Chains A and B, each alone.
Chain A
């Protein structure tokens, strides 16, 4: 018997389930893969394959608006990730460490940005930045992106907080006590014991915040001005009425970037977890 027999709970090895998973994989991936494939197609009417070309990539790179939107998106994602990680870690530690009045209410409010529909948050940001705190126009780059960055941080940092909080739950408080017993100050024991323990969660949180920010369309759509266009907003305006290979090319670049970031993130996270001795 060369092939191992199928045990009763080896669901993955039963053919109907295999077929099902294959169909789901096709459903999830076929659109994306065809999109990527046709970014190399010569014909503009991208249904019939006429030949291989890099033209659309050159075109996309020469499209100043698209390029600017792309840079804006990455800048916004990077800056809002940095702020979100700091705020998320702080609030997670605060809720984990301290008892304070109205704590349950505060924690509920902190969870709101995660559950509130995007459109509501987008509308709120639109109102806020047009009536309460108008973002000055004509600021030099990247300050002109401030409103979008603020909006992104508002919905990203609660996600970071959730991840860090979960990680803190597994912290053995005796480690901190041991550090203090051995002569570390409050600050030193925080930096030497607690922060290393949080590190995998910080990496995971940063990864999530970056993806959420890069991915966001609705909230940005309501916050962005004419001179602060992000990649999703730009693509939205381009694809509303037509499908062009230029968009395929730009999308392919972003997909590849996402996959690369994911791979790096997973590697990093695996190493962090391994370093800190498992979960």
Chain B
């Protein structure tokens, strides 16, 4: 991490009438980061991005870029540029005129302008398209124009509003890595808004998850997935089995959670720092649950590092969704819970595969559950 704070968001709130779109958000974004604002639609992430651009004005709080308070600084005077969701490529200007527009506004001399436009178009691989009109371009090319048009101004921060949402699936995959490469090359700080968790996890160095205007968690993609801060984040990022229960044991090196949904308590090998008896949630990812055959009258398998009678439950497969690279099994536990289990299809053919209605054991490692207090 580079470490120098570039953007500082202090207690920013945005209200539209009665509705609070962004609620007291505090956030720091460092120089050179590829930062993602992630959340479901209507969570306030786009509003926050637009406030960075100066297109919305905060109702409360302040935004500092490079240590300078942005209050009262109009969008055209800010060291940030934006790639709009609709791309907002000017339809009456050629590709080159679009890219040159911002430089013209800054009064950059003609010769330098031409040079920088050419460089920017080369960066996004649109060289040779200078004279095309936007309606002669594909969606992906229009997006490149929007990108070049923003980057050519050499902003301190590049804002991207759902940059990949309008592209088709294949192109989206390709653009993910290309955007990351471009960011590497130009070294500009990128702040991206997205509702697509895969996109955020794949591209960003750090993500902020938002919900209903509130910041839920700011962390690296790995930490978001493996150490979610609360139920919302655990549920929003990826798929998860959530068990509501009470903390019955809480020592520095272990904790036990009893849930009415499971016949056995959940054992974890770390402390939780909550009073015994408090309501907690254990979140276990489907790929972190192991599934074993359960012959009639067989004893439950032992999980290493777990006392007997924990982390192993009997159940019956009630649904199978085959997804090609992996398969998702829905397992009905006798106590009522339904648990999702994900297995990679490593081999093309499995001698002892799992089938509908089969009795199975489900077991998980003491480090697999994430214990959530809220």
Contact = CB atoms under 8 A, between A and B. Distances in A.
Direct contact of A and B (CB under 8 A): yes
Interface of A: 1, 4-9
Contacts of A8: 54-55, 74-75
B15 interface: yes
A13 B74 CA distance: 15
Nearest to A10: B57
Contacts of B74: 8
A7 B59 contact: no
B60 interface: yes
Nearest to B71: A5
B228 interface: no
A9 B50 CA distance: 12
B58 A5 contact: yes
B15 A7 contact: no
A5 B54 CA distance: 11
Main secondary structure of the interface of B (DSSP, over half): loop
A7 B60 contact: no
B56 interface: yes
Given A7-B57, A8-B55, 4 more contacts: A1-B60, A4-B15, A7-B55, A8-B74
Nearest to B74: A8
Interface in B28-84: 54-60, 74-75
Interface string B116-132: 00000000000000000
A5 B59 contact: yes
A133 to B, nearest CB: 53
B309 to A, nearest CB: 58
Interface in B74-109: 74-75
B46 to A, nearest CB: 14
Contacts of A9: 55
Contacts of A7: 55-57
Nearest to B56: A7
Name the 7 nearest CB pairs between A and B, nearest first. Answer: A5-B57, A7-B57, A8-B75, A7-B56, A1-B60, A8-B74, A8-B55
Interface in B133-159: none
Nearest to B72: A5
11 contacts: A4-B57, A5-B58, A5-B59, A6-B57, A7-B55, A7-B56, A8-B54, A8-B55, A8-B74, A8-B75, A9-B55
A16 to B, nearest CB: 15
Contacts of A4: 15, 57, 59
Contacts of A5: 57-59
A5 B70 CA distance: 13
A120 B206 CA distance: 72
A7 to B, nearest CB: 5
